[in-house]
């Protein structure tokens, strides 16, 4: 069955394993953009654009500035893989992106599209004019992608170097970017996680699911309790109480209060003076941390952002992959 006959098939994006910088002529290296993953379905015949996130939800309505992407695709139909990014001073700004991702109001969506416009960074092509490309080598797909799109203010092509991973990583790190991706040049596109794609981060970050929170008597959010999935079960990995301002604390607390209460058979290692409120594992957050201890707890974690695009089940300790 084709990825796109009468109706497009919902595609699960190819995901990467963590790695450290290396050199290999068998891999291409490209920037790891700090954004929201999006599979783009571009239908020029019917003048229709759809964007699918990792949760399997379409979210193109949040980005009206992408309405002209169809004009930049030399194809009747194409499916691209890429990242939705908001740039500020030449670098991805995940705070502005987070605002975009959490906005449902039509007027605000239109306003944000003008004051914080997004860019679709295309790095792969999966389907072109009735032909599925999943089983084509990556290097061929990259060339087809470059030939198929025309760049503008809202669409760019993810360029790459071959082999020079250590040098490329050093340059990216000096620029303050998130890291790089290393992809085997002859790899096929696999829906799910594969060691043919590797992510090499400049800082230690982790996506974790919020399993509860600690609040004061005034119900002010004091800390978030974090977990990851290990062999299908939730494992507690610590709590965070830094990285968010008062406005963000109120926003997160309101979000968590909407979730139903939940019971976990977990030792939270809290003092008797701490009162925890446990919630369903649905809200995903990205955190920075110094290291993961031997007993798999986060050392010195700090809140970065809410990940509304990522399913809770994908939260794992990447070092355990």
DSSP string of 133-180? -TTS-HHHHHHHHHHHB--BTTEEE---EEE-HHHHHHHHHHTT--EE
Nearest-angstrom CA–CA distance, 147 and 252: 43
pTM: 0.82
* Alpha-carbon torsion, ordered 102, 107, 109, 114, to 10 deg: -140
33-78 per-position pLDDT tens digit? 989 999 999 999 999 999 999 989 999 999 999 988 999 999 999 9
**Burial status of residue 261 (CB atoms within 10 A of its CB: 0-12, 13-18, 19 or more):** exposed
197-247 per-position pLDDT tens digit? 999 998 888 999 999 998 876 567 889 999 999 888 899 999 998 888 888
Nearest-angstrom CA–CA distance, 290 and 293: 10
pLDDT given at position 119: 97
Q: HEC profile for 62-119?
A: HCHHHHHHHHHECCCEEEEEEEEEEEECCEECHHHHHHHHCCCCHHHHHHHHHHCCEE
88-137 per-position pLDDT tens digit? 888 898 888 988 988 889 999 999 999 999 999 999 999 999 999 999 99
Nearest-angstrom CA–CA distance, 298 and 170: 26
Lowest mean pLDDT among 34-43, 177-186, 287-296: 287-296
What confidence tier does 31 reach under pLDDT thresholds 50, 70, 90?
very high
144-169 per-position pLDDT tens digit? 999 999 999 999 999 999 989 999 99
- Please, are residues 39 and 51 in contact by the beta-carbon 8 Å criterion? yes
pLDDT given at position 204: 86
What is Dmax (Cα atoms) for the chain? 64
> Is the model more confident about 8 or about 226?
226
Nearest-angstrom CA–CA distance, 84 and 221: 30
Q: 239 has which bridge partners? A: 225
pLDDT given at position 231: 86
């Amino acid at each position: 069955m084709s990825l796109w006959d009468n109706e497009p098939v919902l595609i699960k994006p190819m995901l990467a394993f963590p790695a450290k910088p290396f050199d290999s002529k068998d891999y291409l290296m490209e920037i790891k953009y700090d954004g929201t993953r999006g599979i783009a379905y571009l239908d020029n015949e019917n003048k229709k654009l759809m964007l699918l996130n990792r949760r399997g939800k379409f979210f193109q309505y949040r980005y009206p500035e992408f309405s002209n992407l169809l004009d930049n695709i030399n194809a009747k139909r194409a499916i691209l893989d890429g990242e939705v990014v908001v740039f500020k001073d030449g670098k991805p700004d995940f705070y502005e992106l987070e605002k975009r991702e959490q906005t449902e109001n039509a007027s605000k969506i239109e306003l944000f599209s003008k004051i914080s416009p997004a860019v679709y960074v295309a790095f792969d092509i999966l389907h072109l004019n009735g032909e599925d490309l999943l089983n084509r080598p990556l290097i061929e797909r990259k060339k087809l992608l470059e030939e198929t799109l025309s760049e503008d203010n809202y669409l760019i092509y993810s360029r790459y170097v071959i082999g020079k991973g250590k040098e490329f990583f050093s340059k990216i790190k000096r620029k303050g970017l998130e890291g790089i991706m290393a992809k085997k040049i002859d790899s096929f596109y696999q829906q799910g996680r594969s060691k043919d794609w590797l992510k090499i981060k400049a800082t230690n970050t982790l996506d974790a699911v919020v399993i509860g929170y600690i609040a004061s008597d005034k119900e002010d959010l004091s800390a978030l309790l974090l977990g990851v999935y290990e062999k299908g079960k939730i494992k507690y990995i610590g709590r965070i109480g830094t990285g968010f301002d008062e406005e963000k604390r109120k926003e997160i607390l309101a979000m968590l209060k909407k979730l139903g209460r939940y019971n976990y058979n977990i030792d939270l290692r809290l003092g008797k003076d701490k009162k925890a409120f446990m919630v369903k594992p649905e809200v995903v957050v990205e955190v920075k941390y110094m290291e993961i201890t031997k007993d798999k707890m986060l050392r010195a974690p700090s809140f970065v952002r809410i990940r509304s695009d990522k399913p809770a089940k994908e939260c794992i300790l990447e070092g355990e992959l």
